[in-house]
Amino acid sequence: GFICKAFGAKQKVRGLRKGAHRPDLWVIDDLETPQTIKNNRMQDDYADWIEADILATMTGKRRRLIGANNRFASRMVQTLLKQRHPDWDWNLVKAYDPVTYEPAWKSMYSAQFYRQQEKDMGILAAHAEYNHVPLVKGRIFKPEMVKWGKLPDLHTMNAIVAHWDIAYAGTDTSDFNACKIWGRHRNEFWLIDGFVKQSKMKLCVQWMCMKQAEFKARGIICFWQYESQFWNDEVKRNIEEAEAETGVELNLVPIQTPKTMTKLLRMLSMHPYYQNGRMYVNELLKSNPDIAVGLKQLYAVEPGMTEHDDSPDADEQAVKKLEIYTDPPQSEDEPASRPWKAGRYKRKYTW
């Protein structure tokens, strides 16, 4: 026969039995609440209760513990147990592929369903609900620091730089291929567009070629760059194939990153610009899933971070390049517009 009994969290379970029979299966569900997510001590107590009390009730040859929960926060009871017991069987099932939108449960859901959910819920909330990607609240870089606005005419930019942070694997556990296009407009830095996906290199390079074709058609110059340490034959092959398919030349330039500064310090160097309201994002990108993922990575930047940092790393590299493209300071007695031409001239008055 089958005997079942329900318990609330942290209820007394020691000594539980029915005659000579003791439990051999426990199913744990919905332990997390908004209160537990904010209270590390409560989460620790729940994890201790599972280990010390629940597991102790099962004394026979068969012992099974099943727990199911979406991972919607960085720290949860299940993450604590996974850290303590890496030898247990852990299964992570994502509802859909965030790049292709292919559903895991194809007979129940369609790709269009998840596209609509992202549109209705917001991209980050949908990723947290369906794909176990926790929402991150910024401690250093905060959402209120990001300014959205109408993108200035690209022809008025001092310079436009695109940096590609290269990733190879293209799996749901690998790094992101991140290419961020930034422009310098007077004293401001503008995010023009971006690609941030856990995809193969080829998809990112094809996107870069598409953007370069758009820029060229409009007479806009963009400098494309990548970190030199990532260069190899596979990267070269992907670039050559994409350029041949699209008929576009990217003219990618390798750059060296400073060896005396850690990646974290490099990314933190953007913080004063955000604090001083000099970092802008094209308002047309508000519903762009790549930009949303990139901002999520930015908000997670802090010492000891465990989130991916490919997008803010690409941001920093592009912004660093743009720092040199500044407008010259205007003298107090100099008019805003200059009707004269630069060059040699004769003095009108001498004394």
Of 23-32, 169-178, 241-250, 280-289, which gets the smallest average pLDDT? Answer: 169-178
Confidence at residue 119, expressed as pLDDT on a 0 to 100 scale? 85
CB neighbour class for 211 (10 Å; exposed up to 12, middle 13-18, buried from 19): buried
Give dist(CA 192, CA 332) in Å, integer. Answer: 33
pLDDT digits (tens, 9 = 90+) for 101-119: 999 999 999 999 999 998 8
Confidence at residue 326, expressed as pLDDT on a 0 to 100 scale? 75
pLDDT digits (tens, 9 = 90+) for 137-146: 778 999 999 9
Better-predicted residue by pLDDT, 240 or 305: 240
Beta bridge partners of 177: 197
Confidence at residue 148, expressed as pLDDT on a 0 to 100 scale? 97
Q: Is the pLDDT of residue 343 over 90?
A: no
Of 69-73, 224-228, 248-252, 319-323, which gets the smallest average pLDDT? Answer: 69-73
N-term to C-term CA, the chain: 115
Q: Which residues of 284-309 are buried (b: 16+ CB within 10 A; e: fewer)?
A: ebeebbbbbbbbbbbbbbeeebebbb
Better-predicted residue by pLDDT, 287 or 1: 287
Contact 69, 32 (CB under 8 A): yes
Confidence at residue 70, expressed as pLDDT on a 0 to 100 scale? 81
In order of 10, 56, 256, the CA distances from 45 in angstroms are 8, 16, 48
Give dist(CA 215, CA 11) in Å, integer. Answer: 64
Give dist(CA 274, CA 277) in Å, integer. Answer: 5
What percentage of the chain has pLDDT greater than the value 70? Answer: 92
Domains of the chain: 1-91 (no CATH), 94-135 (no CATH), 143-322 (3.30.420.280)
pLDDT digits (tens, 9 = 90+) for 165-199: 999 876 777 899 999 999 999 999 999 999 999 99
Of 145-154, 169-178, 213-222, 272-281, which gets the smallest average pLDDT? Answer: 169-178
Contacts for 155 with CB less than 8 Å, ≥ 6 apart = 218, 219, 220
Give dist(CA 44, CA 77) in Å, integer. Answer: 7
What percentage of the chain has pLDDT greater than the value 90? Answer: 55
- Sequence-ordered alpha helix ranges (H) in the chain: 34-37, 40-49, 77-84, 111-121, 123-131, 201-217, 233-246, 263-268, 271-275, 289-299, 310-322
